[in-house]
Chain A
Amino acid sequence: MWLSWHGTELIREPVSLVVVRVEIRVLGAFRSSSGGAVDSLCFAGKPTVRDVILRLMEGRPELRSTLWDEAVGSPMPNALIMLGGVEVGNLEGLETAVPDGSQVLVLSVTHGG
């Protein structure tokens, strides 16, 4: 339900909330720092790959320190990120929209694990 003002009268309008469910698989060395191989996250609205990665790193400082490159503001130098089996560099990069029910896979490319 959504509340909005119309003149001085409060009108209740039914509004459908868009919820996007995304499955995240983490492979390679990021797996131990992410606390598991598979996670499922829900987003309101239309998330991008960037939104998914930022949410994945929330509360996981160890993962953030190895996945996210602060200097370029991106995880792309350290990881292969796939959306539905397609590497996101082949799409719109971090700005690629993530459809409901899709899978985002994050794979460490770092040598030594």
Chain B
Amino acid sequence: MNLSLAPVCTRCKSAESVFHRPYSGERLCGGCFCETLVERVKRTINRFEMLEHDSRVAVGVSGGKDSLTLLRVLHGIEGDWPNSELVAVCVDEGIKGYRDEALGIAERSCRELGVEMKIVTFRELFGETMDEIASRDRELGTCSYCGVLRRRALNEAARAVGADRLATGHNLDDMAQTVMLNLLRGDTSRAEGFDPGGRGLGTYVRRVKPLCEVPEKETAFYAYLNGFEFQSVRCPYAEEAMRSDARRFLNQMEHKRPGTKFIVYQTGLKLASREPGEVAGLCPICGAPTAGGVCRVCQLTGRAGI
């Protein structure tokens, strides 16, 4: 549809633009939008030296737009590195209605791209589903459990498929929210974990975040342009997270002052380079790397009595 109001693409200067990046002033057509997003991901991978030419990369795929965008972009980039391999790893937390739909989308996307897929479940790893844990303990906030257990589950899945990298779909919004949350909690010890290039630690596969400089709105637009399926069900526990407050605040600030999320993200990188983080030891219960004492997974499973 020619709306005649849409200006010409500022990059190719021929096609009609469909997307405006307020923080850079670019107005892009669909083709240039996708190309610049992929270029940005490539630059990010190089900047943080995220991958080796022969990396076996486990891609955390939830079935949401971010992880599907990551999978599609890495699948495209993989052609440049013929010795590298991609495997999709999925976690079924056991959230009825929400995760079933997402896993179906993930499965269809992997099949379409010809990418191997491995699913691990909370039940097999921790003995209970997220719904069962949530039915007993809502005081702490469901996301506190889910985030920690999910991270462990992704790592176990990455190890199971023999990956040396675990790529997750964290986008710019996620990164900026993390900076805000760490500041609000006064927790500078987590600054080290902010490094999008990650690092391998004991039994932990090195986690990398190639979409860390792509705004969430742009992963959504990329997903739309590429005809991805979208989840129609929102996580029933999503609003419980303190992260929702940080997201709301940052979205409002970005709306008023474009570029805010990039500035907060850059601040996080500066803090991470100044703050060495706490020295990791091993959890006396499960042996996983930890900032000290019993790891968070064992603390939470102990609290939930599982």
Taking Cβ atoms with an 8 Å cutoff, the residues of A that contact B are 27-29, 31-32, 37, 66, 69, 71-72, 74, 76-78, 80, 82-87, 89-92, 96, 99, 102-103, 105, 107-113
| Minimum CB distance partner of A93 in chain B | B20
Establish whether residues B18 and A85, one from each chain, have CB atoms under 8 Å apart when the complex forms: yes
Write the nearest CB–CB distance from B3 to chain A, whole angstroms.
Answer: 6
Given A32-B232, A74-B255, A90-B27; A85-B173 close (CB under 8 Å) = no
Max chain A CB contacts within 10 Å: which of B19, B230, B248?
Answer: B230
Write the nearest CB–CB distance from A61 to chain B, whole angstroms.
Answer: 15
Q: With an 8 A cutoff between CB atoms, is B220 at the interface?
A: yes
Question: Which chain A residues lie closer than 8 Å to B238 at the CB level?
Answer: 110, 112-113
Question: Which chain B residues lie closer than 8 Å to A66 at the CB level?
Answer: 234
Establish whether residues B1 and A28, one from each chain, have CB atoms under 8 Å apart when the complex forms: no
Taking Cβ atoms with an 8 Å cutoff, the residues of B that contact A are 1, 3, 5-7, 16-20, 22, 27, 64-66, 98, 171, 173-174, 216-217, 220-221, 224, 230-235, 238, 247-248, 251-252, 254-256
- Distance A77 CA – B217 CA, assembled complex (angstroms): 9
Establish whether residues B22 and A86, one from each chain, have CB atoms under 8 Å apart when the complex forms: no
Given A69-B251, A74-B255, A84-B3; A32-B18 close (CB under 8 Å) = no
Establish whether residues A113 and B231, one from each chain, have CB atoms under 8 Å apart when the complex forms: yes
Name the one of A89, A108, A111 contacting B22, with C-beta atoms under 8 angstroms: A89
Establish whether residues A113 and B235, one from each chain, have CB atoms under 8 Å apart when the complex forms: yes
Establish whether residues B20 and A80, one from each chain, have CB atoms under 8 Å apart when the complex forms: no
- DSSP class of A's interface residues: helix, strand, loop or mixed? loop
Given A87-B18, A107-B224, A109-B220; A29-B232 close (CB under 8 Å) = yes
Name the one of A71, A78, A85, A90 contacting B20, with C-beta atoms under 8 angstroms: A90
Establish whether residues A113 and B6, one from each chain, have CB atoms under 8 Å apart when the complex forms: no
- Distance A110 CA – B235 CA, assembled complex (angstroms): 10
28 A-B pairs with CB atoms under 8 Å apart are: A27-B230, A28-B230, A28-B231, A31-B230, A32-B232, A69-B248, A69-B252, A69-B255, A76-B255, A77-B252, A82-B224, A86-B6, A87-B20, A89-B19, A89-B22, A90-B17, A90-B19, A90-B20, A96-B5, A108-B234, A109-B216, A109-B217, A110-B234, A110-B247, A111-B64, A111-B247, A112-B64, A113-B98
Establish whether residues B233 and A32, one from each chain, have CB atoms under 8 Å apart when the complex forms: yes
- Distance A46 CA – B171 CA, assembled complex (angstroms): 38
Question: Which chain A residues lie closer than 8 Å to B5 at the CB level?
Answer: 91-92, 96
Name the one of B1, B173, B252 contacting A111, with C-beta atoms under 8 angstroms: B173
Write the nearest CB–CB distance from B120 to chain A, whole angstroms.
Answer: 19
Establish whether residues A28 and B232, one from each chain, have CB atoms under 8 Å apart when the complex forms: yes
Establish whether residues A77 and B6, one from each chain, have CB atoms under 8 Å apart when the complex forms: no
